[in-house]
Structures are given as C-alpha cells and as structure tokens.
Amino acid sequence: MSGIYLHIPFCRQACSYCDFYFVTRTGYRDQFVKRLIEEVESYQDTKYTEEPVRSIYFGGGTPSLLNAGALDRIMRALRKTFLLETEEITLEMNPDDVSRAYLGDLLDVGITRSSMGVQSFKPELLEFMNRAHNREEALACLELLKSTGFHTFTADLIYGNPGQSLQGLQEDLETLISFDPPHVSAYSLTVEPKTKLGRQVELGRIQPPEDEVVSDHYDLVVERLAEAGIPQYEVSNYSKPGHEAVHNSSYWRHENYLGLGPAAHSFWWDEDGAVRWSNKSDLKAYLGEEMSAMRQQKEQLTKLQLAEERLMLGLRTREGILKKELVNRYNYSLNERQQDYIDQKVDEGKFMAGNDRLRLSVEGRKIADSILLDIITMH
C-alpha cells in the first residue's frame, strides 16, 4: 500500500516562522490545478500505480485556497490513474477559508479528515506569527468541524513561542480541548534561517525561549492532552485511540509514497534499498517545464541509511520499532554496545523494557534525537 502527497503551494500571506515552499500570488491556481492533474496522469500505467493507495494528503501551502470544484477534478484524476483503497484523505485548511458550505463540499469530494492550522488562540501570538486568521475564525471553524460530520479532524498548535507563558499555553490547550478534537499536532516553534522570524532572531530583535521553558511547555502539552484522552503517539502527535494519522504514520513506517506538486518529495523502495526524489521548489518551473526536468535528482538510499532513518522515525513513535523488522527489512542488527546502552537507558526510565521491540518512554521521547545519535554512532 502506498500514499500520495499533493503540495498546494499558495498562501494568503507569509507566516513569520514558515520555511515551507509557497507563493502568495494566488492567480496561478487554475493553471496549477491543470498541471497537477497532468502530473497525476503522468504516472498512468507505471509501477507506481500497481500498489493500492491507502492515504491521500493535500498539504501546503494552503490547500483550502482551492475550491471544491478544483479538488473534485484532482480527485477524479487520482481515481482514474491509481487504485484507490483509501482509509484517509486529509486536507489542510486555514480557519479563514472555512464555511459550512465549503466543509460540506469537501465531504462530497471525498475528503475524510480535515487538518486545521490553529497554532494559537491568543491574538498577540497570531499576530506575532503573522497568521492570516484571528481567534474568532479559529473558534468558529472548530465549531463547524464538530458539527459537519467529518469522521475525524486534527488541529495544529505551536508552543515555545517567545514570551509565551505556561499559563497562556494552558489556556490554548483548554480552549482546544473544549472542542473535543480526535487528534492534535503540537510543535515547538523552530527558528528557520530564511524566515522573517529567523532574521529577527539573528538581528537580536527577538529572543527565543530557553530550552527549559520549551521543555516545560512540552511536558504540559503531553500531560494535559493525555488527561483529556488524547495521548501522545509520536513526538508531535496526539490522538484518541483509533484516530492516529494514517498518512503520517506511513512516512514513519517507511512505506512508499509519491509527492506531487512543486517541492513535493517521493519515496519508493527498489531492489538496492529505496529512492527519494523531489520536484523543484519553483512554481514557474512546475507550470512550464517538462515533467522529467522538473523532478530533481534522485537520491539512492542504502539499507544502512534507511535503517538509521527508520530507527529515528520509529523511536519518535509510541509503537517504536520491532528488532525483527530492522533485521529482515534493513539487515540491521544491534551490536553488544548498542544493546548495553539500551539496557542502561531502560534502567534510567528512558527506554521501555522488552526484548522484541525498541520503544522509548514518554520521558525518553523528549530526547529521542540525542538517544538515536548515541545508538547509531555505536554501530
């Protein structure tokens, strides 16, 4: 089973922290949709269409800047080209685009899961992030999502903002929890160099919070959402049982996926390991170039690279990773040093005990990246 990711590269305005690929000129939307459909159809009768598709994800950018008619045309092309056996079709949306009629149209088009970029309910934080929506729009959108009949939905929050207090974060969490969301993604703010935020930090105009403050924020998110029945299942993801994200989980399990649209990445297993490639991050090139020129150089990944990546992705999740899978799929066995290190981490409460599965505790997941680094450098 595989996944399909579609990158919709339009946004109303640039959020201060964002380094995804997007443009704020939305006039190219019709041309883009036509080209995206051509890209979908370019996979007709290739090996990529032999596997049934388990999940589709419209990400961006802001997919909710496309109207239902455009989404319907894209879905038709996908149905015609691929064998769809989807368990989940997600569309990212921003609160300022959503109305009851639009949500109803999305259901008709076949979207089963909406992902809403709330980030915060605090007006001053929304302004700091330069989000296009306000608190009232976020509240109204959540209200609509609850009543429109989506099987599941998720909302994004950002913590660890400069000046954000624990109390403020707690209020954001309480507001979100009051809508009983089946799934939440919560990320700590990261300062990326080429963003407005990155430049301000570089100039010393904004001071990012201390690591301990961010760590306290993380603890609060984990604890409060767990209390509300939405436990963590990946470092940044929380869900009620049965509402875990199908599409993102397939990335973490290294399943095949195709990325369509500018800047989208693809990943596909082959006999030597797997290949990863991406489309150019350039809308003009996407609209004007030959499909093959627009696809950037492929990177061949060896079994060892894949094993290390799988360990990283798996350790960030609650389910962890089976040692048997590392051996069978990646030819990767833990050596004695690695096993001793893991035993020591079990004693420290960072790893869960158990012989067949490598699994971090909630405490361990907080420092998953540094534990992974220790493990792979011992190989």
Q: Which residues pair with 7 in a beta bridge?
A: 59
Smallest gap, in angstroms, from Cβ of residue 130 to ligand SF4? 8
At 122, is the secondary structure helix, strand, or coil? coil
Smallest gap, in angstroms, from Cβ of residue 7 to ligand SF4? 10
Diameter of the chain measured on Cα atoms: 60
Smallest gap, in angstroms, from Cβ of residue 129 to ligand SF4? 8
By CB under 6 A, tell whether 320 contacts ligand SF4: no
| Interacting residue with ligand SF4 among 4, 6, 8, 11 (CB under 6 A) | 11
Number of H helices, E strands in the chain: 16, 14
Q: Of 301, 371, 299, which Cα lies nearest the Cα of 330?
A: 301
Smallest gap, in angstroms, from Cβ of residue 12 to ligand SF4? 7
Name every residue whose Cβ is closer than 8 Å to that of residue 248 and which is 6 or more positions away in sequence: 234, 237
By CB under 6 A, tell whether 18 contacts ligand SF4: yes
Give DSSP secondary structure letters for 21-32: --BS-GGGHHHH
Name every residue whose Cβ is closer than 8 Å to that of residue 111 and which is 6 or more positions away in sequence: 58, 71, 89, 90, 91, 150
By CB under 6 A, tell whether 182 contacts ligand SF4: no
Q: Of 265, 175, 173, which Cα lies nearest the Cα of 227?
A: 173
By CB under 6 A, tell whether 107 contacts ligand SF4: no
* Distance separating alpha carbons of residues 50 and 129, to the nearest angstrom: 42
Interface region with ligand SF4, contact rule CB under 6 A, candidates 8-16, 210-218, 260-268, 323-331: 8-16
Q: Are 278 and 5 in contact (CB under 8 A)?
A: no
Residue 114-153 contact track with ligand SF4, rule CB under 6 A, x = bound: ---x------------------------------------
60 or 364: whose CB is closer to ligand SF4? 60
Q: If binding means CB under 6 A, how many residues of this protein chain bind ligand SF4? A: 11
117 or 320: whose CB is closer to ligand SF4? 117
Q: Are 155 and 118 in contact (CB under 8 A)?
A: yes
At 347, is the secondary structure helix, strand, or coil? helix
Smallest gap, in angstroms, from Cβ of residue 60 to ligand SF4? 5
* Distance separating alpha carbons of residues 151 and 299, to the nearest angstrom: 37
Smallest gap, in angstroms, from Cβ of residue 259 to ligand SF4? 15
Strands 84-93 and 53-60, by their bridges, are parallel
Interface region with ligand SF4, contact rule CB under 6 A, candidates 18-26, 259-267, 271-279, 371-379: 18-26
At 173, is the secondary structure helix, strand, or coil? helix
Smallest gap, in angstroms, from Cβ of residue 21 to ligand SF4? 8
Smallest gap, in angstroms, from Cβ of residue 173 to ligand SF4? 20
Smallest gap, in angstroms, from Cβ of residue 9 to ligand SF4? 8
Q: Which residues pair with 10 in a beta bridge?
A: 23
Smallest gap, in angstroms, from Cβ of residue 15 to ligand SF4? 3
Residue 348-377 contact track with ligand SF4, rule CB under 6 A, x = bound: ------------------------------
Residue 29-68 contact track with ligand SF4, rule CB under 6 A, x = bound: -------------------------------xxx------
Interface region with ligand SF4, contact rule CB under 6 A, candidates 17-25, 66-74, 248-256, 312-320: 17-25
By CB under 6 A, tell whether 20 contacts ligand SF4: yes
Rounded to the nearest 5 percent, the helix, strand and coil shares of the chain are: 45, 20, 35
Say which amino acid occupies 334.
L
Q: Are 259 and 18 in contact (CB under 8 A)?
A: no
191 or 378: whose CB is closer to ligand SF4? 191
| Interacting residue with ligand SF4 among 4, 6, 8, 15 (CB under 6 A) | 15
The DSSP code for 49 is G
* Distance separating alpha carbons of residues 53 and 117, to the nearest angstrom: 25
Contact footprint for ligand SF4 (CB under 6 A): 11, 14-15, 18, 20, 22, 60-62, 94, 117
